[in-house]
Structure 1
Amino acid sequence: MVSTLAVPGTYPTLADALEQAPDGAVITLAPGTYRERIDPGGRALTVRASGEPRSAVVDASGLGGPALSVTSGRVEVEGLALVSDVHPAVRVAGDRAELRLRDCELGAEQNAGLKAENGALVEAIRVLVPGGESGFEFSYADGTVEECEVRDVKADGVIVVGSKLTVRRTTVSGCGKRGVYVYQSGPLIEGCEITGIGDVGIMVVHSRSVRVMATTVRQTGRAGIEIGADCTAEIERCVVTDTGDLPVRVDPRARATVSLTDSGGIPQAGVATAGMTQDLAEMDRLITELNSMIGLAGVKDEVRALLDEIQVNEWRRSAGLSVGAVSHHLIFTGAPGTGKTTVARIYGQLLKALGVLPDGRFREVSRRDLVGQYIGHTAEKTTSVFEDAMGGVLFIDEAYTLARAGGAAADFGQEAIDTLVKLMEDHRDQVAVIVAGYTREMSDFLDANSGLASRFAKTMEFENYGPEELVMIAGRIARNDDYLFGPGLPEALLDHFGRLERNRNFGNAREARKLLEGMRKAQSGRLRAMGRMPSRDDLRTLTVDDLRVAAR
């Protein structure tokens, strides 16, 4: 039987009800204003107004956070008005967080009405955002926005970044900047009305598989719809009128099919029939996977820039224009545990999806796989490994160990380097070689052969993770293993990681994984000492005490 907790009534405050509500409970709010915040704490909960829609107002202004914050669990909110100030009215983040909003109003004077991030899943139905900084922001989160309204926001109405989002029968009006902004995403925008926009009605950047269907765009400061370079889009049965620029502007390097109704004509230049040889869906998936990695902002930018260059070269080749020789070989520098191997794997798969390499196979090797024990053996081993990696990525970890130490003639690592230099030049279009290691030592490695540095297209620096990022990494590892952090543990982890010395032995993400392994062992001992069968929550929850034991 579902537990129903009435506020006020059964419980005097919303906080009291949230503290006592069991998993699956329903909390009802009578009409009125509640100067509180809603944080379900990972449970499955429903919170609804007992009166007319939006008659119950949860106002978190000045309370240091969103009116509703969901980081895990399945939450449904019906008929509430949710208000904040410098924070989003609603924030949902994490790949275990699901939120369903129905018949709600969201207000945040200096932030978004709703901000969904980091793998969250959101369904918003008949939700109003009547002002604030922006309306709906989806950043690497998926979901549906249906029959909603965003009006009179200072910036963008709907922002979609790295997300799979469906926007249906939704009105966006009176935005100071763009009506809908799409970046590295493939949303469906269907049956919507976008009007009174200060900038572009719908702007699409670095995105593929974007569909805009039966949508009206009018009264825009610039173009009604703009499709940027390296994008693919379908615009069907749309009405685009009263625009400050062309109704539809398509970059010559984009691929789009355009079908407008009563729009006064469309520009022909740059509008092309969709259809590319690359695996666009796979590219979208891989770019989303790359972007979902914690930190590494500079590395992500560098990879995207390389992909842009490769794509433009493919277009030039198709157009019969000259294309210079391009190397796909890279240098990754930085400490262990900073994501170098993961990025290398994704890079190889992206090259395959772009049609640059025949397959995305990943071969990781170290010195012992390349260096032999006698003259001539090293060249043979290195060539065999190289040929086995052809068509994909050859990843050489701690590559600096190949460099001849102190000029020792008996060290065959130099022979491996010299063999690699020739093979990389002869087969640069058939393989991507990525060498990785500590920053200083990799500089010495490049000096081992005069032609080595010129074989690589770019050096990417992987910086150490900060304490906040390590807490996020630990949280992701824990969630993937079906663990939860108990009260105060994120703050304790932040303090712990902040005190760690970042010397040569610092392992970055490996430190987080090692610590969690210790915490799980500590939890096992704690649960065995309880003297009773632990509950499901007991089995899932890691505590500050577990951290203290593991840290010792």
Structure 2
Amino acid sequence: MDHVSGRTLVVGERPGAYPTIGDALTDAPDGAVITLDGGTYREVLELSARRVTLAAADGAKVLVDGRGADRPVFAARGGSLALHGIELRAGDAAAIAVEDVALTVRGCVVVGGRGPAIGIRGAAGFEVTGCVVTGGEQGIAVEGASGRLEDTTVEDVTGDGIVVGMAADPVIRNCVITGCGLRGVYVYQYGRPVIERCEITRTGHEGVAVAHHGLPELRHCTVRDTRGPGIAFAAGCGGGVVGCLVENTAEPGVAIAEGATTTVSEGTEPGGHGDQELDELLAELDAMIGLPEVKAEVRALVDELQVNEWRRRAGLPVGGAAHHLIFAGAPGTGKTTVARIYGRLLKALGVLPRGQFREVSRRDLVGQYIGHTAEKTSVVFEESRGGVLFIDEAYTLSRSAGSGGDFGQEAIDTLVKLMEDQRDEVAVIAAGYTAEMADFLSANPGLASRFGKTIEFANYRPDELLGIVDRMVAAGDYELDRAADPVLTGFFERAAVEENFGNARDARRLFEGMRKAQSQRLRLLGRVPTVAELRALVVDDVVAAVAR
């Protein structure tokens, strides 16, 4: 759920900034964006029927610390709340507790206290993506809500990792649920989640437990290392299990009680994910706009890995295949998206057990003193085991990148050793500008040999960027006047020759500018717009966005 653009307020120690989040919320109008400078904010906050976004400033490390309090860090009822790039630590309550709130949580670290770390109730809808949820009695509890939980790790909770109940029907996709004292996922009271390509491991009871008329659909998930059965359905439950891998669990791996109507596809236990998931992922890759050379390179890698697997099954020798890659090209050319798909492809092929995606930059790897960097890099590498470690702007680690270069070099030297010692455990993708990545590869004599291939990501053409804007328009349920096409392509033609051309990022900024221009235009109507007017992006909106 994206929020209407509005006033921006700044919280921090700089002159003119609000000293606390609470002070900023007092003055914030609906639709406001509150930007948080780096630091620790010892606050707990309650919102009622508010529409607000809180986001960490670019590159800032922000902690909202509710330890010592017996109330949630963020408690909200009604309205909408978006949290971006923030760490939250709960005290004797939840970190986030919302009811009938359109909730968006992106790129956050959420540390729970008592009850669920994130509790979501009501029918307003939610989106939790790219987060780490840890600690607490439960990880995430969803009751009566629809929404998306994607690319998120839930770990080290004393009770259940994810709880879905009261007819909630979220989509839970590409998540890792691990280290749960009770169940990894618990579905009850007519809960109807779709759980796709998730990994559930190290649970004290069942990996997935379904009770009280639960109706989940489990697709292409991996459940392993559970003290109870991998997947268990109680009497009166339904749903289905398709292409899931269940291993090293208590017997039976998949337990269907008498009176349950659950369907289990052939090959679920024991088994793998087969060609269907592989075809779905390749179709997802093909659906991306442009990138023909990139798609061909990824398909060639998949073909090699698939044939290697067939040879292995036939008892034939298999040559070594490096999973580490260089993604070279300008920002906004799809490198992160392709890296996510690549990790899931490796999982579908059985090359990596998890296929999860971890994105880091220099600040996540480089420490402040000698020895600290090796420790930080090793921890990140360990946390990425079984999936993809994506290092954005990797060239900033080399000595030539400027201040603190020696510590960056320590990170490179540590990576070289780990990439060799654990080459079958992690796929490392280093990304950045083409010329700068050549300097990065020369920073250590063994670095270049660790990467099997460099894949070049070309800039998007203006017509391709127009297609990307069209997809954003459709996803937001808008309609764009086709008379605006020449204005858009002209903008992209001019932007393409600029030094800091952002490709799809520029397309995203332009789309947001179009939405802002539409909002300002509609506010001047003096009446409530019709549905058609709310959906329409006209030429004047595009012209206004281009002029900014």
Q: Give the number of the structure whose alpha-carbon radius of gyration is greater.
A: 1
Q: TM-score, normalised by structure 2?
A: 0.49
